[in-house]
Amino acid sequence: MRKLNTNIAGQSLVEFALLATLLIPLLLGVVDFGRAYSTQVQIKNAVADAGYFLIQNPGSTGAAKAMIISQMSGLSPALQTGDITVTSTCSSNAETTKVKVAYQYALLFSWIVPSLSVTLGSETSVPQIDAC
């Protein structure tokens, strides 16, 4: 009976190379999803705070935008004033102010595919006490 060659020193390296091509992108995807979800929650909270501020201070759209930008100061790239819209509408003798944020979130894979991004955002509509 002949013994087979039992030298398997390179087998582990080949198996790791095959599995790493699947596991590393999966790990980066999980981390990226966590970062995106955290950013989405921050945006939602900032928009809600701005809506609450606008209920108490009607017409202070500039201050509401500044409030959102200051709460979101840790983003990279930074949130711009153009990413925030504040509009007021009047219907049936009731004024409503709408706050909306749309932010282009760059994914971790954007170093591979430069245009890889997703739009995160939130909006709220708040009533104004004064009739229009």
The answer to the question of residue 1 being in a domain is: no
Residue 3: pLDDT band by 50, 70, 90 thresholds?
A: low
**Residue 61: CB partners within 8 Å, gap ≥ 6?**
54, 86, 97
| Residue reference for tokens 């979800």 | 37
Q: What is the rounded average pLDDT of the residues 55-78?
A: 90
The answer to the question of residue 2 being in a domain is: no
The parent domain of residue 42 ranges over 11-127
Q: What domain count does the chain have? A: 1
The answer to the question of residue 16 being in a domain is: yes
Q: For 79-125, how does the pLDDT look when each residue is reduced to its tens digit (9 = 90+)?
A: 888 999 999 998 878 889 999 999 999 888 777 777 788 999 999 99
The answer to the question of residue 59 being in a domain is: yes
Q: For 30-51, how does the pLDDT look when each residue is reduced to its tens digit (9 = 90+)?
A: 999 999 999 999 999 999 999 9
**What is the value of pTM for the model shown?**
0.80
Q: Buried b / exposed e across 95-124, counting CB within 10 Å, b at 16+?
A: bebebebebebbbeeeeeeeeeeeebbbeb
